Structure 1
Amino acid sequence: MDWEQARFNMVEQQIRPWDVLDMTVLALLSEVKRENFVPAARREMALVDMEIPLSAGAKMWCPKLEARVAQEVALKGTERVLEIGTGSGYLAALLSKLSKQVYSVEIDAALADQARSNLDAADIKNVTVDVGDAAKGWSKYAPYDVIIATGSYPTVPEFLFEQLAEGGRLFAIVGDEPAMTASVFTKVAGSVKQEKLFETVIVPLVNAPQPVRFAF
């Protein structure tokens, strides 16, 4: 397989049309080899516009979503980032190149081990992978400059704002299938500003707090 041609096609046919135009992010897609973070049995699908099953119901985001999120959180190289849900470690790898330190938390121990192995193989040193349930955040390293949740929440996870530093940003996908909205929330002077980005549907975060739902 011609990986570099496939990577070029991915960028031109999937990534750019999804409004990912930041040259630093686009360059990272060539530097961090996505195929090295995909389960071996599905390696040839690494650059295809699709979610890739991992284990225990977890899925790797499609490439355009990973790239768009990396762009929208607007990292400058100095940030401390919390990633809720490590998966294969690929998004953490992208974020590591754009920030100072990434703290990633994965509820599935086997996935966490695989992510560590993938990150080690890519010689990435500024990502810490912990095993645990970070659905309500991860106070161990708080406060964070950026928090990214890789599973959806049914409602805005306001409890995460407490773990953001002043000026910090939260990327979250909120709603129930088939209507979910991706947003960046920015904490400013004790209040939160929401910027709605796009509609999508992803797997809910394991143990995401549920609102009271009335049945009639």
Structure 2
Amino acid sequence: MTTMDYAKARELMVEQQVRPWDVLDPRILDVLSTLPREAFVAEAHRNLAYADLPLPLAHGEFMMKPVVEGRALQALSIGPDDEVLEIGAGSGFLTACLGRLAREVVSIERHADLADTARTRLAGQAISNARVIHADVFSWDNDRRFDAICVTGAVAEIPARFLQWLRPGGRMFAVRGRSPVMEAVLVHANDGDDVNASRIQSLFETDLPYLHGAAPAPTFEL
């Protein structure tokens, strides 16, 4: 049985997928070049860890394609002193990337088994500044604010409670709209306390599964 060369696959992912999609930040390219993505993928899909595909997780969730992960990280421009909130830990891979870039990461995951697996994978990579909390983000009791927020599932509209968790001048990556054509955006929080004064920057088109509780209301046609 042939053993896959994960290091080579990682290099090809960065050079043939991520970099051509205008992800050019050296810190992000370094993280994606060195963090073993295969360690965050189920055994059954490990040989697809570096493919240009969303990979299935439990409960109908998906791991985002590498190019989307790279664009999200670049858009957020995370600095070494930043405190980051991730909404949807999933596999834990993007959590790990954020942990390599930021001072602290808090990740919310509604599925207990995914949260446990993500914690184990993070520990396996010696990433100690990322904490996974098992909670539903729409009932999570939190009064803390963050420099950056990364939303890993799509939303019909950006929830107001997410904006309240941004510090003045903070930014949030999210994918919004209706499938199959959605828009990835970067929300720039106002420098003051008025969250309604945020500015939204369009990034690219994509399509993601909806975050639980954030899908559009069904429409009925005669």
Q: What is the total number of aligned residue pairs between the two structures?
A: 215
Q: Which runs of 5+ in 1 are unaligned?
A: none
SS in 1 for 2:158: coil
Q: Return the TM-score normalized by structure 2.
A: 0.92
Aligned-partner Cα distance in 1 for 2:167–2:125: 30
Conserved in 1, the CA contact under 8 Å of 2:83 and 2:148? yes
What is the CA RMSD across the aligned residues, in angstroms?
Answer: 1.6
Q: 1:193 corresponds to which residue? A: 199
Q: For 2:111, give the aligned amino acid.
A: D
Instruction: Give the counterpart of 1:147 among 146, 149, 158.
Output: 149
Q: Which runs of 5+ in 2 are unaligned?
A: none
Aligned-partner Cα distance in 1 for 2:171–2:50: 28
SS in 2 for 1:140: coil
Aligned ranges 1:26-45 → 2 under 5 Å = 26-45=29-48
Aligned ranges 1:96-111 → 2 under 5 Å = 96-111=99-114
Conserved in 1, the CA contact under 8 Å of 2:76 and 2:171? yes
> 1:136-175 CA deviation, whole Å, 9 max, x = no partner?
7x44361111111110001232331111110111111001
Instruction: Give the counterpart of 2:180 among 175, 178, 181.
Output: 178
Between 1:90-99 and 1:205-214, the stretch displaced more is 205-214
Conserved in 1, the CA contact under 8 Å of 2:83 and 2:105? yes
Aligned-partner Cα distance in 2 for 1:198–1:124: 30
Q: 2:213 corresponds to which residue? A: 207
Aligned-partner Cα distance in 2 for 1:141–1:126: 20
Q: Label 1:168 to 1:212 Cα distance change in 2 as closer, same or farther (>3 A).
A: farther
Aligned-partner Cα distance in 2 for 1:187–1:104: 20
| Identity of matched residues, % | 39
> 1:39-90 CA deviation, whole Å, 9 max, x = no partner?
1111110000001101000110111111111111001111111111000100
Conserved in 1, the CA contact under 8 Å of 2:187 and 2:200? yes
Q: 1:69 corresponds to which residue? A: 72
SS in 2 for 1:155: coil
